Amino acid sequence: MRVLGVDPGLTRCGLGVVDGLPGRRARLVAVGVARSEVGLDVDQRLLAIERQIEEWIEEHGPDAVAVERVFAQQNVSTVMGTAQVAGLAMVAAARRRIPVALHTPSEVKAAVTGNGRADKAQVQTMVARLLSLDELPKPADAADALALAVCHLWRPAGALGAPQRAPGSLTSAQRAWAAAEQAARRRG
């Protein structure tokens, strides 16, 4: 299974693609950050991020998209931008009938470090170890996106944070069509 992890943010949106391997192992496919210019109007910033997310989905053909669940913070404008970018990622996946899952930050931290209160450095270190990387993924947004993808790979079916779409919600024809689209994107 290939998972695109999205750590939503209006200035920096972490993106990480990970393949699940036998034996609860994972392999890095790609990691990066979608960026938008702070001086632009919000609609143009969202458009810039949306285009980059679309490119990543087209290029990497994920089987699932894991997005960080937005939680309330003190800074309302930060929460709004984060939520808007999370929505863009979900719509881009839904447009292609790719299942979307939302994972909380503490759930992701617990999955990759064993501690739901782990700090950014611990998450980066464990992501590097789990994916056999020579150096820590940077910036933290990129590491968080990889952690989201790994967390999703390791979630059992039906567990908290499992895909939001019911397994039988697609017809057999829709599943076949989606599989053919994903195979074509990978060959493409």
Cα 132 to Cα 25: distance, rounded to the nearest angstrom: 10
Binding residues for Mg(2+): 7, 68, 141
3-state secondary structure of 101: strand
Catalytic residues: 7, 68, 141
Binding residues: 7, 68, 141
**Strands of 64-68's sheet, edge to edge?**
25-35, 12-21, 2-7, 64-68, 100-103
Is omega for the bond preceding 163 within 30 degrees of 0, making it cis? no
Cα 147 to Cα 42: distance, rounded to the nearest angstrom: 27
